[in-house]
Amino acid sequence: MNTLHAGDTQVDFDKGKDHSGIVETARKQKSKRWAKPLDKIKEFSTKFADLDNMPRPAQSSPTTPTIAPLVSTAALFPPSAVACEQMPPSSDDPGGGTPALCGKKRRTDSASSPAANIVPITGPYEPLPRDDKDYQDAVWLKSQIEGIGAVNGVPNTKASIPPPVRDALLNRWPPLYSKRTELIAQARPLDADDEALSRFAYRLNVWLDNIKRRKPILDSQLAQYNSGCLGRPLPDDEYKQCESYRSRFNDCVGRHNASLNERNRLAGVWQEGKNCLTSRGNSFRARVRDWITLIVKPWVEDARKALANACDPLISVSATATPPTIEPQKTSTLTAEPKYSTTGPDSKPCPTTYKWSPTFTTMGNLDGVTSQTVTFTSSGLRGRQNFRVEASDDFSTQFAGVFVTIAGGRLCAVQRTYDRTENKTTCAYQCAQSSPTSYFPGDVPCPQIFDPN
């Protein structure tokens, strides 16, 4: 049996009847057509995760704009429904240069190249030779050897260093400093390229963020198109609307995909540049490391030895308290007793600084905490107080501790009165040498104080 289907109408040709139904069914079927699917939207790649995951400035964080609905009472697809009309792909790229870090025209990392004379740019490479701690130590030691003033009150020891030793050290300085200058010059083009690569990454990530903002709009509009146009025969007017929209949407998807393809192509350029700069940077770091290990540190070690031999180093320190046990509100004298490598009339002790702690406690306070001898005055509270002294010369730091015991003492008798009218407590203390009177607001007990005598 042959049957023609048209919507809900079925015509059985075998019955040979109802010729008008055949014509009507064919007419209706001719007036309905099937819409085609939309083009595929390109998915995001994880190939450039190290670039895509770089921190973004706040203004470039993806924020999807409001999606215009596809369906309205006036038409199936309003004229402004295509995502590219809300966010044109031509505006995805914020603009900027594409650095070439390892091409034929890439500048060399030589101190004699023109790029070596550019103004220093903040980056990870120049600080390596410029701010190296071992080099800074060497500068300070050189000033001590040359006798350029005192540091923290410690005099220089130039006169104590034998001239052959001093001259040999100072003659090794110019090559050390010259190498540092050369490395700083080599670092500047690396830092310039690092900054250019960073700007390029920012451009590419803003570009990707713009694409990501448009993607949800495309996905939503594709879903609405599929719901409204696919899976059923369409009347002529709806078919024309679907075809018109499909043409505009596919054009938008083509431009969207082309923008993503171009961004990914440049991301590959960025990755190549990053790999190149990493290789050059590792080579530079190795040169800096060799300079520090083979030149700077040996010089520092020899300079320290020369200075140490110029005076007798501090090897230990002890501390004493006189007297070790005091009464409340009394004073004890604390003394640091340093020991140097050599004693006797020919000894040349290295200049030593002192620092006592704690400087203030509930049991009392110290006076002259940066002196070799200090005083401790008790606040009156009984107990044991542990003090610690730190003694330092240019080459070592030594520590020692000493206890002071606060014991004995006699409390002052006190006559307490409370004035209810004024809400005030009067405390009249009766000590051997004085009778201090104190006043306190409210009905409170009188504090205990010790007789200072």
Beta partners for residue 316, in sequence order: 339
Cα 216 from Cα 205, distance rounded (Å): 18
Q: Give 164-172's long-range contacts (Cβ < 8 A, gap of 24+).
A: 165/306, 165/309, 166/306, 169/142, 169/145, 169/299, 169/302, 169/303, 169/306, 170/142, 170/145, 170/146, 172/299
Three-state DSSP class for residue 220:
helix
Residue 59 has pLDDT above 80, yes or no: no
Model confidence at 293, in pLDDT bands (50, 70, 90)? very high
Enter the pTM of the model. 0.55
Model confidence pLDDT, tens digit, residues 309-343: 888 888 899 999 999 999 888 999 999 999 988 78
Residue percentage of the chain with pLDDT more than 90: 46
Residue 11 has pLDDT above 50, yes or no: no
Cα 186 from Cα 174, distance rounded (Å): 18
Residue 69 has pLDDT above 50, yes or no: no
Model confidence pLDDT, tens digit, residues 193-230: 999 999 999 999 999 999 999 999 999 889 888 988 88
pLDDT, residue 391, reads 96
Model confidence pLDDT, tens digit, residues 266-284: 999 999 999 999 999 999 9
User: Which of 216, 262, 195, 213 has the alpha carbon at shortest distance from 61?
Assistant: 213
Name the average pLDDT for the chain.
82
Three-state DSSP class for residue 99:
coil
pLDDT, residue 162, reads 75
Most confident of 44-53, 62-71, 290-299, 392-401: 290-299
Average pLDDT over residues 346-367: 90
What is the residue whose two structure tokens read 């003492």? 409
Model confidence pLDDT, tens digit, residues 20-35: 554 455 455 556 788 7
Model confidence pLDDT, tens digit, residues 166-182: 899 999 999 999 999 99
pLDDT, residue 94, reads 92
What is the residue whose two structure tokens read 């060399």? 108
pLDDT, residue 160, reads 64
Residue-range domains of the chain with CATH? 1-30 (no CATH), 43-310 (no CATH), 314-406 (2.60.40.2410), 410-453 (no CATH)
Higher pLDDT, residue 54 or 406: 406
Average pLDDT over residues 4-8: 43
pLDDT, residue 359, reads 93
pLDDT, residue 187, reads 95
Model confidence pLDDT, tens digit, residues 314-323: 889 999 999 9
Q: At what angle do helices 133-146 and 297-310 cross, to 10 degrees?
A: 40
The residues, ordered by sequence, that sit 6+ positions from 126 with a Cβ below 8 Å of its Cβ are: 120, 184, 187, 188, 191
Please name the residue ranges forming H helices in 99-172. Answer: 127-130, 133-146, 163-171
Determine which of 120-124, 361-365, 384-388, 398-402 has the lowest per-residue pLDDT on average.
120-124
Model confidence pLDDT, tens digit, residues 378-429: 988 888 899 999 999 877 899 999 999 998 777 788 999 999 999 999 999 8
Most confident of 144-153, 155-164, 238-247: 238-247
Residue 294 has pLDDT above 50, yes or no: yes
Average pLDDT over residues 71-80: 53
Cα 323 from Cα 333, distance rounded (Å): 7
DSSP 384-399: EEEEEEEEE-SS-EEE
pLDDT, residue 5, reads 43
DSSP 65-81: PPPPPS--SS-SS-TT-
* Residue 145: φ, ψ to 5°: -65, -40
Structure tokens at 53: 């995951």
